[in-house]
């Protein structure tokens, strides 16, 4: 799982992780896309997403 920090937060110095399995890494800039998710899904929407 990845979380992305806003540039200004990262440049200001993000807090150090407190869990051993969590680390901060710098990744090269890239363009990405992600579908919006409202937090719930209907059976119809789930079927449409699994087919496409």
pTM for this model (two decimals): 0.42
Q: What is the dihedral of CA 9, 20, 27, 49, to 10 degrees?
A: -100
Residue 14: partners with Cβ closer than 8 Å, 6 or more residues away: 5, 24
Query: Quick one: pLDDT at residue 18?
Result: 93
pLDDT digits (tens, 9 = 90+) for 23-52: 888 888 889 888 777 777 888 888 887 765
Closest CA to 11 of 1, 30, 24: 24
Q: Where are the domains of the chain?
A: 7-51
Two tokens, residue 31: 């363009």
């Amino acid at each position: 799982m990845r979380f992305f920090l806003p540039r200004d937060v990262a440049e200001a110095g993000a807090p150090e992780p407190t869990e051993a399995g969590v680390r901060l890494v710098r990744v090269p800039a890239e363009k990405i896309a992600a579908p919006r998710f409202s937090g719930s899904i209907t059976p119809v929407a789930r079927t449409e997403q699994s087919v496409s």
